Chain A
């Protein structure tokens, strides 16, 4: 994070007008803790006397907070790190320790100016580590942080459109896990996943329940479910970003710190927009990615471009029993949410393969991959409910 948002190498102001880098100061508030508008405990916007939302901070808060995040840089040496002379460079190469070590703090590069942000004062010449603690405590204890975090975590795990009451219940656990502890994330995730709104069976009355699964999560789910092996042990999977021939999404390759999609995204020209609802994952769904995904799953359900192959270890022994295969996939991939229409389509395809116990392993794998592929492209699977 220090590298990603430029705290690493961030320098204090100087007499020539140089200013601290504001990137982390801004995004730690906008994206990671409190967000742009003041929130009620249930995640809805607080409103002023004119019924307008209230911005949580202004430019001055950011310019001030940026001073706290100056003076940090890689620590190449802690925990046994160091540099090595190598033949192929004319400079020494650092060990990988700097990537996992805490950043090193240089007080000479740290701003000693007073900091005023979000109503909190950090006096001039406060030691850097103390200033950092005060600033982070201010953000952690901000009334927005619980509902802000709770809402996005629910969106990521359960539903794009949680009720305010659901957000409120989870935010309350963030505020107090029952033992007086704030920010107990294990308790928060338990509250998210055990909530009635998460556990209720899909209802025809709620035609916008759940969320679109994001492509990488689908793909990982497929491979974890059917099993994979890496011939060389390195799991060489490479970049799955290309939209027209892969997933349009790849781990750690978000185009910016704003992630692949935004929690407030509304897909234009849809019933979702008409209803005033959100669908974050739809931001990376379009005419290209839907096609690229189908093709990529068709390919990777059976094979892969590198050394990683799906194994279907648990399914191969029952491959001759089409109904068993169908039930196995339906339960594990969709929590038995495939409709009878979809099951019938799958059943017909599986039957046409005419797999028997005596069929070759390749014949069985062809059928299993095809059945898995069909589940993976079915909208009943794609939308997690």
Chain B
């Protein structure tokens, strides 16, 4: 079992080995004292990283939309809109994009002089862009190494490896979150949690380092950091309290005995472990949340907003819980818009906009906006080409990074041509990523406090890429 004793010991040893690898040949006791410096991990402040995962593969081309007349015309044509600028096929109307057109805060020249607009329903995010609190990372996706179209098609996959199982939902979700396909057990958010734990090993609430407010997600599973699941389903009972306290003895004792018992059968024992954690943390979390008051309004009927609201409340309770570093995972589903894209995708954009805008406002209210960085991710981008009323599975996509520490109002990465022919796509406008998830993640990891030497432990392929600090935060 991954009890505190185990992870503390293991991570202390890891740190010690890092020190000796740097040529420090002093006794372990002295190394321990020097550890804070070696780690370069300043945990006297608080920082939270929040992953907003858009399940199903978000349609990048209707999220960050070509807006200048020439590129818009290409977009409109490829998306089966035909000539003109009206909404048709799966192309948005150009006029509808005017209010959400993005003007970089400092002049930027993109590929083919591209100008972009956000989806018309992302007005709140456009406002954050104008304030410099929202950045757009262009064409990011999983890669093993920098890859050209020729290398993509090359038959020698030993020389030019590709991420496994491209275009497959479950596997690309897993690869985005953990560098590895289905069955993976360690995500890069969890690895960040491991490092945070190593630097805060005396915190009795360390189980709250990596939290999912939605279903189980490998992103927040570390080697030592456990994923703690919190429910957003109720304002007052976030952990889903087991109501055994209301039962009479001897029934209460009987329930307790049955659900917390150790077993020689591994599946039974692991089930009981989860139940024990649920019971253990429910009181701690509810007690801490009892003293929290977040007045920012979060929209109702929006599952992403409900999740981000409980995240905001947990961040507000960071003092009571003595937390220094936290990694959160939230999600919204429904992005696999093979069909009815023009009907369903706008509603999803509305939800993303309302939820993320409210969350940012809440961090401002809490005076902690500079210490909370939120980013979007998704299974994959989709095709630029239309399949009549939707788009199909792709690869690279555009993502948002939001927060007070973000160098926003600016595009990062390389804009792809608006094309189904060019060498920055692999057919039908499925983008060949020009920025790797590893580079994107490394940039966030550095902000979180990780040193260069720690990056390969978080992102095994990061050494294949030249840029581990993209500059957006």
Contact = CB atoms under 8 A, between A and B. Distances in A.
A binds B: yes
Given A17-B420, A208-B267, A210-B267, A290 B275 contact: yes
Given A18-B387, A26-B393, A255-B55, A383 B185 contact: no
A379 B260 CA distance: 9
Interface string B203-223: 000000000100110100110
B388 A291 contact: no
B165 A292 contact: no
A264 interface: yes
A378 interface: yes
Contacts of A377: 255, 258-259
Interface stretch (B77-85, B123-131, B397-405, B434-442): B77-85
A119 interface: no
Contacts of B271: 212, 285, 290, 379, 382-383
A374 B229 contact: no
A49 B141 CA distance: 29
Given A244-B231, A378-B258, A287 B387 contact: no
Contacts of B385: 17-19
A268 B278 contact: no
A284 interface: yes
B237 A272 contact: no
A43 to B, nearest CB: 15
A21 B338 contact: yes
Interface in A242-299: 242-245, 255-256, 258, 262, 264-273, 275, 278-279, 282-292, 294-295, 298
A84 interface: no
Interface in B264-291: 264-275, 277-279, 281-282
Given A9-B339, A245-B240, A256-B333, A383 B388 contact: no
Contact of A19 (B185, B263, B274, B387): B387
A83 to B, nearest CB: 22
Interface stretch (A124-132, A145-153, A346-354): A346-354
Given A160-B267, A270-B270, A298-B243, 10 more contacts: A11-B388, A14-B80, A18-B385, A21-B338, A21-B392, A287-B274, A287-B277, A345-B257, A348-B250, A374-B255
19 contacts: A17-B80, A17-B386, A18-B80, A211-B267, A255-B55, A256-B333, A265-B182, A268-B185, A268-B218, A279-B270, A284-B215, A285-B274, A288-B231, A290-B259, A291-B240, A292-B231, A295-B242, A298-B243, A382-B271
Task: Give the 4 A-B residue pairs with the shortest CB-CB distance, closest first.
Answer: A268-B221, A286-B229, A379-B268, A244-B240
Interface of B: 1-2, 55-56, 77-78, 80, 82, 89, 158, 164-171, 182-186, 190, 212, 215-216, 218, 221-222, 224, 226-231, 233-234, 237, 239-244, 250-251, 254-255, 257-259, 261, 263-275, 277-279, 281-282, 333, 336, 338-339, 383, 385-390, 392-393, 420, 426-428, 430
